[in-house]
Amino acid sequence: MISHKEISNKEVIQEVFSLINEYKDLNAFITLNEENSIKKAEELDNNPSDLPLAGIPIAQKDLFCTEGLRTTCGSNILNNFIPPYSATVIENLENAGCISVGKTNMDEFAMGSSNETSFFGNVKNPWGKDLVPGGSSGGAASAVAAGLVPAATGTDTGGSIRQPASLCGITGIKPTYGRVSRWGMIAFASSLDQAGPMARTAEDCAFLLNEMCSHDEKDTTSLDNDIPDFEENLNSSLKEKKIGIVKDLDLSSLNNDVVETYQNSLKEFESMGAQLIDISLPNISLSVPTYYVVAPAECSSNLSRFDGVKFGMRSEDAKDLEELYVKTRSEGFGDEVKRRILIGSYVLSAGYYDAYYKKAQQVRRLIKNDFDNAFKTIDVIMTPTTRGPAFKIGSKGDDPIQMYLEDLFTISANLAGLPAMSLPNGNIENKPIGLQIIGNFLDESTILNFAHMFQNETNWHMYTPEGIKQ
């Protein structure tokens, strides 16, 4: 993590805000926390602390509740919502010394892969102002890639950390489901959501992950398992380590540069002593359809609380309760969110439950079983993170399925609850692209180890967009 012994914490924070201001056309932030941040920095300067992340500026995805600081989840319906409490992740990071400089832009309720569904306008990719940063953690990825902040939090339900990391040329990890508490994370799909760090390097991610993880009795899906020191294994040798290559993934649909980049990275790992082993995940091609039943079903219920009664926005001039509900939700939610709520209501409704929801959860088990079998013989699985580099804003038109297929490689890890990360491994037409490493249950250390060793040998993670000062 950037160390800045020579300059004061206050100067660092001031520099962060001048950068954010300079690059505000990236639209990476929804709400800034300048006053408080500077106050905290001054306190740190006055009584220096030995906290692990003391003074580190961090950008928080606007999906985490922050006490007293507006939290919108990228939606009009929470436009004016100021939470009375903070997410466990936020508390953990701030207790470790981090300074939350602001809330980053995102696809509305994390539903999107391009950041185009945000009520607060789409985020631009620092690698090209006409390019999407990916999504849903697009503001976070853009802010880190542009060097506005050294660290950011993201959340990943189907690839929302890994895909934007790939498209913006940074490193991000989605931990094992249950590693990081979901308390205070505004739920999209409860059985898939998981928070994780986004930064320049795997090492920085390890530092951040050490502080983000905790055992939280407020979240019954928060795991009790020991939390290792994620820095410990970063430099372990990869000799004899086994990398699973998924036969069943058809890469022919990808452009050659992507495939070539991917294969070069595999060679790089081989040269470090790792072995490539073909594995079979027979049901992986069903990940996307499975996801697009499970996630909408859960979100259709999770988003029912946004009804204009107790918090958030309420439509004016509703003449009765029914109208209050319908107007509030119709004005408050964007098209993609509505689309997913409708799909969710459909797959859960009488007569369709078994055919869709139950079926999808059964296939989900098959997918998880495939991974369990594979990990009996290998240490990690590698795939490209995305089908290609960042695409142009608006280029996916409004064909939802084209957008859904963006998450082809990332979704399966969420369905199975496995840790997975993306790290920069190439550059196509001056646009970064990422490699995905999927690990076994609770085995973040091993994928961070692979990523760190790769970053020792390569410098893709050091590439920065033109015109961005570092």
Partner 1 sequence: MDKKTVTTISYLSRLKIDNDKEEKIINDLGNIIEFVDQLNEVDTTEITPLTNPLEKTAKTRKDIVTAKNLKKELLEVAPSANEDYFLVPRVVE
Partner 2 sequence: MSWETVIGLEIHVQLSTKSKLFSGGSTEFGAESNTHVDLIDMGLPGVLPVANKEAFYKAIRFGLATGANINQTSSFDRKNYFYPDLPKGYQITQMTQPIVEKGSIKIAVDDYEKEINITRAHLEEDAGKSIHDMFEGETGVDLNRAGTPLLEIVSEPEISSAKEAVAYFKAIRQLVTFLDICDGNMAQGSMRCDVNVSIKKSDDKELGTRAELKNINSFKFIEKAINFEIDRQIRLIENGECVVQETRLYDSEKNETRSMRSKEEANDYRYFPCPDLLPVIISDKELKEIKENLPELPEEKEIRYINEIGLDESEAKIISSSKTMANMFEAASSKTDDAKLVAKWLVGDISALLNKDNIDIDESNLSAENFGILIERISDGTISGKIAKSVLEEVWETASDVDEIIQSKGLVQIQDESILEDIAKKVIESNPNQVSAYKAGKDKLFGFFVGQIMKETQGKANPKAVNEILKDLLQ
Amino acid code (one letter) for 354: D
Q: What are phi and psi of 332, to 5 degrees?
A: -80, -30
Q: Which residues are catalytic?
A: 61, 136, 160
Q: Which of residues 410-469 bind partner 2 (CB under 8 A)?
A: none
Of the residues 215, 218, 267, 392, which one makes contact with partner 2 according to CB under 8 A? 218
> Can residue 292 be called a binding residue for partner 1 (CB under 8 A)?
yes
> Can residue 87 be called a binding residue for partner 2 (CB under 8 A)?
yes
Interface mask (CB under 8 A) for partner 2, residues 40-79, using x and -? Answer: ------------------------xx-----x-x----x-
> Can residue 362 be called a binding residue for partner 2 (CB under 8 A)?
no
Residue number, 215 or 218, with CB nearest to partner 2:
218
How big is the chain, counted in residues?
470
From the list partner 2, partner 1, none, which binds 64 (C-beta under 5 to 8 Å, kind-based)? partner 2
Residue number, 51 or 326, with CB nearest to partner 1:
326
Q: Which long-range contacts (CB under 8 A, 24 or more apart) does 233-237 make?
A: 233/445, 233/446, 233/448, 233/449, 234/202, 234/203, 234/206, 234/448, 234/449, 234/452, 234/453, 235/449, 235/452, 235/453, 235/456, 236/449, 237/272, 237/273
- Alpha carbon distance, N-terminus to C-terminus of the chain: 14
Of the residues 3, 5, 46, 319, which one makes contact with partner 1 according to CB under 8 A? 319
Residue number, 220 or 252, with CB nearest to partner 1:
220
Residue number, 274 or 415, with CB nearest to partner 1:
415
3-state per-residue secondary structure call for 334-354 = CHHHHHHHHHHHHHHCCCCHH
Q: Could you give the dihedral angle defined by the CA atoms of residues 44, 21, 203 and 220, in that order, rounded to the nearest 10 degrees?
A: 80
Interface mask (CB under 8 A) for partner 1, residues 151-190, using x and -? Answer: --------------------------xx------------
Q: What are phi and psi of 444, to 5 degrees?
A: -60, -35
From the list partner 2, partner 1, none, which binds 401 (C-beta under 5 to 8 Å, kind-based)? partner 1
Contact of 101 with 20, CB cutoff 8 Å: yes
Residue number, 189 or 435, with CB nearest to partner 1:
189
Of the residues 279, 416, 448, 451, which one makes contact with partner 1 according to CB under 8 A? 416
Of the residues 346, 427, 463, 464, which one makes contact with partner 1 according to CB under 8 A? 346
Beta strands in 9-64 (DSSP E): 29-32, 57-61
Stretch of 41-49, 87-95, 113-121, 330-338 lying at the interface with partner 1 (CB under 8 A):
330-338
Query: How crowded is residue 215: how many other Cβ atoms within 10 Å of its Cβ?
Result: 13
Amino acid code (one letter) for 416: A
